[in-house]
Structure 1
């Protein structure tokens, strides 16, 4: 205000000079536009609560509004039970094109400068964020709003927020520096990778450059709540028990180094007695795991044990120990029968020992004869194995190692339980088997942009491996393709046909076929694998998880006398991880459901496809 008053006085002083007046007027206009530009750069908008009617009427009080599901009812082509939910690009004509259809015919480019701001939250186990962005200067005059979607990598749940600008608002390129904010996204898991996608509305007919993505991690517990608060909430989640004579060896994972927890304790109760053990790990030997001994436990006794960090109010992890009888200890005889029974028992034992000895001698002779026929020199045997493989070696994948890219194809004809198993498998492979997984459930926007078949074809070219999850529904779909529909109208059938054609071409040219794999879960049969995939490597999951790991990373699992140890990737070990347990529960649910369906079909006389 003071600046304009000063300029006004100068203008009055030169009122008689026309040239001076014109120059001053031009300066005022330039200065005014500069001030408006500075104002536009600093302008930011946070969502308002207003009605759709207010937006359509162009009321200035409804400049930037949040739209909820109750505000407007959409008629979508995607069913409500879709894994994408209602988070799809909203059609412009649904809420803007009834009265002025021309507003939906213009192209609006993608937003830019996406930023994530973490919000204060009293909900300790979860995080909260607010997203901000700026609109593109291209097509900004026709901008009518934004849609913000948030998805956790490894999950199918998508959260949406929709924001609209008032109907008669027309922005200029100067507003490209304006910052728009979303509402807070709450209840986000800590230390988890998310992707946020922002689309400019109206969604154009051209399906490119209309949205922008940003990947980010939520804060860790120490970052959000402070180190002291997280120490007491931490507890070992990996515990392995091994018996050695009468002693029991317990291995558990240590707390992260920044927690600075140096002491632990263990307490076991069984047989009317309590056993307390003070644990002081040697961090110079191992910084991630520690093994301690529980001595002199009673044989044949079940113990309930707890382990925790030795700090105030620490969360305790409960595990169970069953002490078996030591086979090396002499068995105590309690026979009170007549001597004749003891004699008969002794004769029986002698005869059994003689039979075992005879069988052992015959077996060794046959084995020796077979070995002579197939004997090779040790140097020839050695060349077929990895000479750098040593006992206990682990595969270490650092940040500089690019994980193999894997495309997973499947059929949803077996119902949502089978789809859930595929989803949990993809999450386990990506999180614990160092694999970059591509799954259609995780890339909804890309599929909408390219089409289902186009997306699968591009991913097949880009990925190092393709895994087809075979099932009864997939095989049935292939058998009925001639009766129901043309193969190329079904994405699953078209994808299988393309994979079969690629394998036949590679076989004819003598090329490697390891790119393509077929897998079944334990509730399916090997006969469910289509004949067109006959050249692909076959795996039964979860039994063959180590073999699948070997295939993806190109490492040998064993050589004579040596074995590759891969933590938590085995038929019995994978369920110790949260993602593995989720996979196991999904498989059990699908297995129970499929068994019930087969039983019902048998009762009504429907033949079972084998």
Structure 2
């Protein structure tokens, strides 16, 4: 009955004249300071209120996870549901026109934003507030804000032109990507289109503070080239002293060679500009050069160098010409004698027979190795989208192991042209669907599934006994709540079972992969997962890339070399260095845990 009434109400709302919307100005509405009691009673000054964490704890008796701030990641609105149990059954569509605005931030290392949006026409009469969450891409930290209307407020379709704003989100790192999600409240139990997300990037250091104040973004702007014979002199502007850049480097590519120059200006010379020489360049050759500060991920300045042929003085040109006229007849006579001699030898020599050549295999092998060259191998042209990879793991090995898994996912997504699905990055989707439903859907929709095997995958510790005091029970409940969110052990068991069934039926197993970090052992891989491809990370990153994109690492005459994925090259990018550090810290923690278990 209530569903028919709801449909009838929506038809009436859609049938209202659009000119009624002009009566409400599109002014921005900012949050107010008011209590939950004022919101419930519908008092004056409580039209659009911010709710803090203390109000949530006082009302619900639950100390929410710090990562969610004052928000409750539940599919239904709990704060006002006690007064009206049917409030979770109404249809409220997602907000629209979500925008991110940068506001003034005095700290030069951070940015601050404010989010604005408009409510939807559909179900606006039942709208009770908004929830705004902010999450860094590649990380698990979440900032959240909750805003409520008073209980007796009923918005009309004309209010859909109003612009609502959030409180500022401060402390955002420069040059980072974030995802902001605005959710309409209440959230029905069986409705999906209740939130709107937007991905944005904060300003770079140079955009906010200027190039001369940013060590990471600075690069030489003014580069001049002067040729003296076959030597080339390059002059460029030095970095400001406040950046602390002491050395630079230059690389030139041309004639199938690379010329590297290390540049270390001395303080006694000019502190504004510096000149250096590029030697051993070939005449008549175009070179593409780059210069940058000798810092990690420094921005490089490109410039071109053309080495002009240097004219050589030749004062004896007439003598050389006369000598040539004298030597030509002598050369012709010698050539005729040589031809006569070869003809005589050919007539007197018996018919040659085929002789067996004594080839040395070592020399052939050495030649083949020297002839192998690096080349760019393109991916398959029929792939219109990047592969989708689901990463599953065990959280029983501690937070260091979970951090290593998260850094691995960030590295694969940034440098291996792959879309990574990780439960650490989709807490809102898990809260909406449930852990097992979310993992089952991801396993079904993903192109590949990678299981990170570790000791805790097979040896799970028993949960600790709760303490007698109330405070200890609260802490235990809090930890267990977080573990349920960020744990995919049940999904790993489901994958193991699917691999076993697929092997028994003779099906393709290329979708599933297993991997271990350096601090784990091959014995940590379950028996069923040993049937699929398994890798040791980080030494097998190229093999993992080959599996994901279906490209061969070796082929006749060449081999595939991928930038920033080789065992010695992945640490040169920030994501690779963070992955290496996370694996190192997790290894220390694992060894310390094993030592404690042995001593116990």
Same fold (TM over 0.5): yes
Q: How many matched pairs?
A: 458
Corresponding residue for residue 513 of structure 1: 509
1:600 aligns with 2:596: yes
Counterpart selection for 1:162 from 141, 146, 151: 146
The offset of 1:149, in angstroms, is: 0.3
Query: Counterpart in 2 of 1:458?
Result: 441
Instruction: Please show how residues 99-138 of structure 1 align to structure 2 within 5 Å.
Output: 99-138=83-122
For residue 507 of structure 1, report the CA deviation from its aligned partner. Answer: 4.0
3-state DSSP of counterpart to 1:392: strand
DSSP-derived class of the 1:448 partner:
helix
Deviation per CA, 1:210-236: give whole Å up to 9, x if none. Answer: 2121222233344444xxx12552448
Which region of structure 1 is more displaced relative to structure 2, 135-144 or 569-578? Answer: 569-578
Give matches, 1:5-404, under 5 Å.
37-73=21-57, 87-89=71-73, 94-225=78-209, 229-235=210-216, 255=219, 264=236, 292-294=260-262, 317=294, 391-394=373-376, 402-404=385-387
Check the 8 A contact 2:75/2:189 in 1, yes or no.
no
1:4 is matched with none
Question: Within 2, Cα distance between the matches of 1:78 and 1:444?
Answer: 19
Alpha carbons 1:52, 1:67 under 8 Å: kept? yes
Per-residue displacement from partner, 1:146-197 (whole Å, max 9, x unpaired)? Answer: 0000111100001101111122211112212221111222222333222111
Aligned counterpart, 1:535: 531
Deviation digits for residues 305-346 of structure 1 (CA, Å, limit 9, x no counterpart): xxx9969xx996469xxxxxxxxxxxxxxxxxxxxxxxxxxx
Partner of 1:431: 414
Work out whether residues 32 and 50 of structure 2, in 8 Å CA contact, stay in contact via their aligned partners in 1.
yes
SS at match of 2:551: coil
Tell me the alpha carbon deviations over residues 497-539 of structure 1, each in whole angstroms, 9 at most, x when there is no partner: 4434443454456543221110011111100000121211011
Kept in 1: contact 2:24–2:158 (CA 8 A)? yes
CA-CA distance at 1:89 after TM superposition: 2.9
Distance in 2 (CA, whole Å) between partners of 1:544 and 1:77 is 49
List gaps (5 residues or longer) in structure 2: 1-16, 225-234, 240-245, 275-290, 297-359, 464-485
Taking only aligned residues, the RMSD between alpha carbons, in angstroms, comes to 4.3
1:441 to 396, 420, 424: 424
Say whether the 8 Å CA contact 2:450–2:513 is kept in structure 1. Answer: yes
Change in Cα spacing, 1:507 to 1:43, as seen in structure 2 (3 Å) is same
For residues 214 and 142 of structure 2, what CA distance do their matches in structure 1 show?
28
Matched residue SS, 2:184: strand
Q: 1:211 to 1:500 in 2, by over 3 A?
A: same
Pair 1:88–1:230, CA change in 2 (3 A) = farther
For the 8 Å contact 1:235–1:317, the answer to whether it is kept is no
Relative distance call for 1:479 and 1:553 in structure 2 (3 A) is: farther
Residue of structure 2 equivalent to 1:525: 521
Secondary structure at 1:596 match in 2:
helix
Displacement of 1:542 after TM fit?
1.2
SS at match of 1:449: helix
Superposed counterparts of 1:575-590, under 5 Å: 575-590=571-586
User: CA 1:519–1:87 in structure 2 vs 1: closer, same or farther (change >3 Å)?
Assistant: farther
Deviation at 1:51, TM superposition (A): 2.6
- Asked if 2 retains the 8 angstrom alpha-carbon contact of 1:405 and 1:463, the reply is yes
Q: Deviations over 1:273-314 (max 9, x none)?
A: xxx99877669999xx98533599xxxxxx9xxxx9969xx9
Structure 1 residue 557 displacement after superposition: 2.2
Q: Give CA-to-partner distance per residue, 1:86-105, whole Å, 9 cap, x none.
A: 65435766432344445455
- Of 394, 415, 433, the residue aligned with 2:398 is 415
Q: What is the alpha-carbon distance in structure 1 between the residues aligned to residue 42 and residue 67 of structure 2?
A: 35
SS of alignment partner, residue 151 of structure 2:
coil
Residue 406 of structure 1: aligned partner: 389
Residues 89 and 531 of structure 1, relative CA distance in 2, 3 Å threshold: same
TM-score, normalisation: structure 1: 0.65
Q: Using a 3 Å threshold, how does the CA distance of structure 1 residues 148 and 603 change in structure 2: closer, same or farther?
A: same
| Change in CA separation of 1:70 and 1:318 when aligned onto 2, cut-off 3 Å | same
CA contact (8 A) 2:394 2:457 kept: yes
Partner of 1:557: 553
Task: Indicate conservation of the 8 Å contact 1:120/1:128, yes or no.
Answer: yes
Indicate yes or no: 2:544 matched with 1:548: yes
Cα distance between partner residues in 2 of 1:524 and 1:101: 51
